[in-house]
Amino acid sequence: MKVASLSKARRREALLGFVFCLPWIIGFLVIFVYPMASSLVYSFTNYNGGLIMDFVGFQNYVSAFGSRAFRVALRNSIWWTLVGVVLTTVLGLGMAMLVKPRVHGMKVFRTIYYLPNVLNGVAVVFLWSWVFSGTGPLNAVLGWFGRPPTIFLESEFWSKPALMLMNIWGVGAVLLIYLAALQGVPQELHEAAQVDGAGHFRRFFAVTLPSISGVLMFNIIIGVVQGLGFFIGALLLTNGGPGMSSFFLGQLIYQEAFLQNNFGYANAIGWIVMIIMLSTALLLQKLSKRIVFYMDGA
C-alpha cells in the first residue's frame, strides 16, 4: 500500500513538472521547431508567399551556387567574418589587458568602452553615416594631413573597411568577457613563471593565453556566427553597394524573400548559411579539444 501510494505521488509530481514545463515546450515547438521545419520544406519548393508551392527538389540549391550574387555575397561574408574575428579578438583581448589593473578610475574606462553596446543599433548606424560622410569628422581629421575628402561608403575599396570600423567600435562586449576571463587566471601561475625568469610576453603566451583559451574559443565561435549573419548595418548604410562591394548573405536572403518574393530560394540560401555556420562551429569545437586548456584538467 505504501509503495503504491509513493508511486502515485511520484506520478503526480512528474505530471506537475510536465505542466510547469509545458509553456516552454509549446514555445519551443511553435517558435523554433515549426519555423525550422517549414523553412526546410520551403527550400525544396518554388514558394512565393502565395498559393504557388511546387516541389522543385534541389533546384534552389543548385541555382544558388550558380548565381553571381550568391558567390559575391558569400565571398564578402567570409571576408567580413575572418577580418572581424581577428580584429575583435586582438582588440578585445588587448583592451581587456589594459583595463584589467585595479587602479583608481579604471572602472570609468571600462564603462566608456562598453557604452557603444547600449546604444540603439539604428542610431549607431546613422551616427557612423555622418562620420563617414564627405563633411564628417573623419574627413576633417584627414584634411589636417592634406588628404582630399573621401566619401567612404561610396567607394568600392573603402566600403567594407568603413563598415568594419563601425563594427569593432562595439568591441566593448567582447572586452568584458575577456576581462572576466583574465581576472580568473590564478595569480600564482604568473608568480611562478616570473620566478622562473619569464618576461611579460613569455607569461602572456605561456600562462595567460592557455588559461583563457576556452573563452577565446567561445568568442571565436560566436564571432563566426555573427559575422556570417551580418547585414543590417550594410543594408542601412550602403544597401550592398557600391558595385556589390558590401553585399552580404543576409541581405541576399532579405532581398530574395521580401523584395522578390522568392521564399523558396531564400530559404535554401538560409539553410546553406546555417550549414556553413554549423560546420565551422563543429570544426572549431573539435579543434578546441587539442588547443583549449582547462584548469581542472578536463
Q: 523554433: which residue's cell? A: 32
Segment holding 153, helix H or strand E: none
Cα torsion angle, 293, 78, 252, 67, sign: negative
In a domain, 48, yes or no: no
> If you average pLDDT over residues 278-298, what whole number do you get?
80
In a domain, 47, yes or no: no
In a domain, 228, yes or no: yes
pLDDT at 18: 87
| Domain coverage including residue 147 | 60-291
The proportion of the chain whose per-residue pLDDT surpasses 90, expressed as a percent, equals 44
The domain total for the chain is: 2
Both 110 and 253 in a single domain?
A: yes
Both 134 and 26 in a single domain?
A: no
In a domain, 53, yes or no: no
75-86 pLDDT, tens digit per residue, is 999 999 999 999
Distance separating alpha carbons of residues 118 and 61, to the nearest angstrom: 38
Both 226 and 185 in a single domain?
A: yes
> If you average pLDDT over residues 205-212, what whole number do you get?
87
Distance separating alpha carbons of residues 223 and 228, to the nearest angstrom: 8
Both 34 and 143 in a single domain?
A: no
Both 33 and 117 in a single domain?
A: no
Pick the more confident residue, 163 or 294: 163
Both 256 and 150 in a single domain?
A: yes
Both 36 and 75 in a single domain?
A: no
Both 168 and 234 in a single domain?
A: yes
Distance separating alpha carbons of residues 267 and 255, to the nearest angstrom: 12
If you ran DSSP here, which 8-state letter would residue 45 be given?
A: B
226-276 pLDDT, tens digit per residue, is 999 998 888 989 999 888 999 999 999 999 999 999 999 999 999 999 999
pTM: 0.86
9-64 pLDDT, tens digit per residue, is 788 888 888 899 999 999 999 999 999 999 999 999 999 887 788 999 999 999 99
pLDDT above 50 (res 1)? no
Both 121 and 247 in a single domain?
A: yes
Both 199 and 257 in a single domain?
A: yes
